[in-house]
Chains A and B, each alone.
Chain A
Amino acid sequence: MAAQAIRLFRKMDGLFAVYKPQGVHWKHVRDSIESNLLKGTLNSCPPPAPQLAVQFQLLSSGENSSSSKDLALSPTMVPTLADHPLVTGPQFHKVHVGVGHRLDAFSSGVLVLGVGKGNGVVKVCYILYDYTLEGEFGKATDNFTDTGRVIEKTTYNHVTQDKLERVLAMIQGANQKALITYSQVDLRTQEAYELAVRGLLYPLGKSPPILMGLRCIHFNPPHFSLEVQCVNETQKYLRKLIHEVGLELRTCAVCSGVRRTRDGPFKVENALTRQYWTADSIIQAIAHFHKTTLGYLTNHSGKGTQDKY
Chain B
Amino acid sequence: MHVCQRCVSLLLSRPLSAALQHSTRALHQRSHLTLLQHSTRHTLSQRHSRQTWRHFADHQAASPDVYNKIDLAQKEVVPLNSDVHRIDLDAAVHTSPLQEISEEEAVQIQVPYALPPESSTLRPYVDKSETLSKLVQLGVNLWKLEQRPNVGSMLVRLDFHADVAPSLLFLKDLGVEESKLGQLLTKNPFILTESLDNLEARVSYLKSKKFSKQSVAAMVSKAPYLLNFSVERLDNRLGFFQKQLGLSAEKARDIVTRLPKLLCGSLEPIKENLKVCELEFGFRGNEIQHIVTTVPKVLIANKRKLTQIFDFVHNTMDVPHSLVAKFPQVLNAKFLRIRERHLFLEYLGRAQYQPSQPNYISLDRLVFLPDDVFCSEVALATLEDFERFQKRL
Contacts and interface: CB of A to CB of B under 8 A. Distances in A.
Interface of A: 19, 21-24, 53, 64, 66, 69, 71, 73, 80-82, 84, 86-89, 108, 259, 268-269, 271, 273-275
Given A19-B390, A21-B390, 10 more contacts: A23-B335, A81-B136, A84-B126, A86-B139, A86-B140, A86-B142, A88-B123, A259-B392, A269-B391, A273-B387
8 contacts: A19-B391, A66-B104, A66-B105, A71-B107, A73-B107, A82-B124, A86-B136, A87-B122
- Nearest 3 pairs of A and B residues by beta carbon: A89-B143, A82-B123, A81-B126
B108 interface: yes
Nearest to B135: A86
Given A66-B108, A73-B107, A81-B136, A87 B390 contact: no
Nearest to A53: B127
Nearest to B142: A87
Contacts of B104: 66, 69, 71
Interface string B324-364: 00000000000110001000000000000000000000000
Contact of B127 (A66, A69, A81): A81
Nearest to B340: A21
Interface in B95-151: 104-105, 107-108, 121-124, 126-127, 132-133, 136, 139-144
B336 A87 contact: no
Contact of B126 (A82, A268, A269): A82
A66 B143 CA distance: 42
Nearest to B386: A273
A19 B136 CA distance: 42
Interface of B: 13, 104-105, 107-108, 121-124, 126-127, 132-133, 136, 139-144, 335-336, 340, 371, 387, 390-393
Nearest to B144: A89
Contacts of B143: 86-89
B123 A87 contact: yes
Contact of A64 (B108, B122, B123): B108
Contacts of B371: 275
Contacts of B393: 21-22, 108
Contacts of B124: 82
A59 to B, nearest CB: 13
Contacts of A22: 393
Contacts of B123: 82, 87-88
A82 B141 CA distance: 12
B390 A273 contact: yes
A228 B371 CA distance: 33
B139 A80 contact: no
Given A69-B104, A275-B371, A268 B391 contact: yes
B24 to A, nearest CB: 17
Kindly name the residue among A53, A87, A88, A259 whose own CB sees the greatest number of chain B CB atoms within 10 A: A87
A69 B105 CA distance: 10
A43 to B, nearest CB: 12
Contact of A81 (B108, B133, B391): B133
A2 to B, nearest CB: 18
Contact of B391 (A64, A84, A87, A273): A273
Kindly name the residue among B104, B127, B136 whose own CB sees the greatest number of chain A CB atoms within 10 A: B127
Contacts of A19: 390-391
Contacts of B140: 86
A22 B336 CA distance: 9
A271 B142 contact: no
A80 B144 CA distance: 19
B136 A274 contact: no
B37 to A, nearest CB: 26
Contacts of A274: 336, 390
A88 B335 CA distance: 37
Contacts of B105: 66
A175 to B, nearest CB: 27
B391 A271 contact: yes
A23 B144 CA distance: 33
B108 A87 contact: no
B127 A80 contact: yes
A71 B103 CA distance: 10
Contacts of A108: 393
B313 to A, nearest CB: 16
A259 B389 CA distance: 13
Contacts of A271: 391
Contacts of B107: 71, 73
Given A21-B336, A21-B393, A273-B387, A82 B127 contact: yes
A172 B260 CA distance: 62
Nearest to B143: A89
A275 B104 CA distance: 69
B323 to A, nearest CB: 24
A53 B143 CA distance: 21
B121 to A, nearest CB: 8
A271 B392 CA distance: 12
A82 B125 CA distance: 8
A25 B124 CA distance: 42
A108 B122 CA distance: 45
